[in-house]
Each structure stands twice: as C-alpha cells, then as structure tokens.
Amino acid sequence: MLLSLRIITPLFVLLAGVQAELITKNCKLISGSDSDKNALNLLEPLTNQNFTAEKPEDGYVYIFQVCGDAGGMKNAGLVQKDKKDGKLVRIGNYNQTRAIRGSDWVLLFYEGGDKYENHCSQEPRRAMIMISCSTSTKNAFSVVLEDNQKDQGCYYLFELDSNAVCPVIPSKLSAGSIILIIVFCCLAVYLTGGFLYQRLVVGAKGVEQFPNYAFWSEIGNLSADGCDFVCRSRGNREEAPTYRGVATEPLGEEQEERDDHLLPM
Ligand SMILES: *[C@@H]1O[C@H](CO)[C@@H](O)[C@H](O)[C@H]1NC(C)=O
Ligand SMILES: *[C@@H]1O[C@H](CO)[C@@H](O)[C@H](O)[C@H]1NC(C)=O
C-alpha cells in the first residue's frame, strides 16, 4: 500500500502541474459548465497550431487556432483573410467559446465576430468547428459552408479531423489484477532483499538464508500442529473402544429422536 502511494502521489502532483498551464484555459467559456470544460480540455493537443483552409471558388483563406490568436488578431480564434489585399475579418472570438462533446467528436463555437454588413440582421459572425475523430495522425482542416441567407443564427461551419477527440481505449488491467501485481512485486522484493540481507549481512547459510526463517518455520510448525489436531482422527479412534459399549446406546436414541422432527406430520 505504501509502495503504491509513493508511486501514485507524485503522479497526481505531476498531473496538477500540467493542468495549471493548459493553453485551452485561454478560451473563455460562455457557460462555465463542467461538460464544456471537459470538451475543451480534449483539444489541448491541437493548441499552438495554425490550421488553414480555403474554398477554391472564393478568394478567402480561413485561419483557425484553438484558444490562440488566429492570423495574429487579438482574441480571434478564427479569421477570414482576403487573398488579394490580406484584409482580415473576425469570424469568432475564443473569449466567447462553447464546446460540446460527443463520443468521438467535439463541436466548438466561437461567437462575437465582426458584424455582417448586409445579411443576418447585422448580427455578429459566428464560427462552428466540427472536430471529429480520425485515426490518421495528420490533422485535416476544411471549410464546409457559410450559412448567411437568413435573418438570424447565421454561421460559418468548418471541419477538422484529428485523433485528439478519439475515444480512449480503457486499460485491460482490472483493479484486482493491479493489486495482485503489487502484492507479487512486494513479495519478490521481500524475498530477494531478505535473502541478500541474510546472506551478506548476517552471513547465513543454507535454508537460514530465507528471510525471517525462524518466524516462517514457526508458522509452518503451528499450522502443521493445527492441521494435525483438526484432520487426524487416529488419536480419537484409539480411545473410542473403551466408551463404545456405554456410548452407542444413548447416541442411537438421540439420533432417532432427532429424526422424528423430520417426519412429516
Ligand atoms: C501562426 O500564424 C501566425 C501569423 O499568422 C504566426 O505569427 C505564428 O507564429 C504561427 N504559429 C505557429 C505555431 O505556426
Ligand atoms: C473578447 O475580445 C474582443 C476583442 O478583443 C472584445 O471586443 C470583447 O469585448 C471580448 N469579450 C469578452 C466577453 O471578453
């Protein structure tokens, strides 16, 4: 138990240290719910990267960062860049984030972008990034659509394939087998340590090298005695004949009396 605590405690300290410097913490969640935080935490491996995508038919490049300034624009997680003049339009801010998590995907919302000029009742632009599990190591970012032909709820939709959001395959080891392994390790350490100690420090020879030999042989003798007492019947049989004449009669009666209870009424 002590051994496992010694291993596990530093692990927690290490995890807590890593937790403190998560880059996804730069994202400000509109709702501070735990499910949003958990979904966002999954995206940590995708931080500090520029993802770019363009639609061949229009002259824009889209730049996306997870909780970082896209295209160098402060607080913008997703920007649209005009390929001709390099003009930037803010599509969504990472200080106004929502994140929804499914079994093998995370849907990320960046709200509060630049306002539409003519469409969508001039509401702020908004980006939705669908991040789906893909087992290939390469992340693929692409534009899906821009939905701006309505009065409200317009959005830009993007897609990112990544292995960051793939479900984690649970460990095959159950708690029971882990405890067994720890017990075996302790036993092995005890035996080899004790053996070396007896041999090198105490200078024992033969079976005496076995750690705590006296104690264990005492245990062995005690359990042998116990077994002898419980299991061996010869000792009783030798004494039995002297009583047999007297003992059998009342015993038989008792037996019959007891049987009576079992008869159906
Ligand atoms: C992302 O792009 C910006 C400018 O567009 C650049 O300053 C920054 O170094 C890039 N970051 C990475 C990790 O490539
Ligand atoms: C987010 O950042 C933008 C741009 O810097 C700023 O205008 C806006 O007020 C910020 N919103 C929040 C909720 O912090």
30 and 115, same structural domain? yes
pLDDT for 257 equals: 56
203 and 119, same structural domain? no
Instruction: List all residues whose CB is within 6 A of at least one atom of ligand 1.
Output: 48-50, 71-72
Report the nearest atom of ligand 1 relative to the CA of 65: 1
- Name the residue with the closest Cα to ligand 2, atom 2: 75
pLDDT for 195 equals: 81
pLDDT band at 256 (very low <50, low <70, confident <90, very high): low
Tell whether ligand 2 has an atom less than 6 A from the beta carbon of residue 93.
yes
150 and 191, same structural domain? no
Tell whether ligand 2 has an atom less than 6 A from the beta carbon of residue 97.
no
* Cα 70 to ligand 1 centroid, rounded to whole Å: 8
* Cα 3 to ligand 2 centroid, rounded to whole Å: 50
Q: Is-contact 198 210, C-beta < 8 A? A: yes
184 and 142, same structural domain? no
pLDDT for 223 equals: 82
Report the nearest atom of ligand 2 relative to the CA of 96: 13
For residue range 70-82, what is the model confidence (pLDDT) as tens digits?
Answer: 999 999 999 999 9
- Name the residue with the closest Cα to ligand 1, atom 10: 50
What string of DSSP letters covers 44-83?
Answer: GGGTT--EEEE-TTSSEEEEE-SSS-GGG-TTEEEEEEET
Q: Which ligand is nearest to the CA of 90?
A: 2
CATH code of 99's domain: 2.70.130.10
70 and 139, same structural domain? yes
Ligand 1: residue of 23, 47, 48, 50 to mutate (most ligand atoms within 8 A of CB) is 50
Mean pLDDT of 238-261: 53
123 and 195, same structural domain? no
Selection from 111, 128, 119, 112 nearest residue 149 by Cα: 119
Q: Is residue 5 part of a domain?
A: no
- Name the residue with the closest Cα to ligand 2, atom 4: 75
Q: Is residue 262 part of a domain?
A: no
pLDDT for 234 equals: 63
Q: Which of 13-17, 41-45, 210-214 has the highest mean pLDDT?
A: 41-45
Q: How far apart are CA 68 and CA 74, in angstroms?
A: 8
102 and 145, same structural domain? yes
For residue range 192-246, what is the model confidence (pLDDT) as tens digits?
Answer: 888 888 888 888 877 777 778 788 788 878 888 877 777 776 655 555 555 555 5
65 φ, ψ (degrees, to nearest 5): -130, 145
186 and 98, same structural domain? no
Domain of residue 194 covers 175-223
pLDDT for 1 equals: 54
- pTM equals 0.61
Q: How far apart are CA 99 and CA 25, in angstroms?
A: 13
Looking at the 3D structure of the chain, how many domains does it have? 2
- Range with lowest mean pLDDT among 19-28, 34-43, 56-65: 19-28
Q: Is residue 82 part of a domain?
A: yes
Q: How far apart are CA 129 and CA 106, in angstroms?
A: 8
Tell whether ligand 2 has an atom less than 6 A from the beta carbon of residue 96.
yes
Q: Is residue 190 part of a domain?
A: yes
Q: Is-contact 64 158, C-beta < 8 A? A: yes
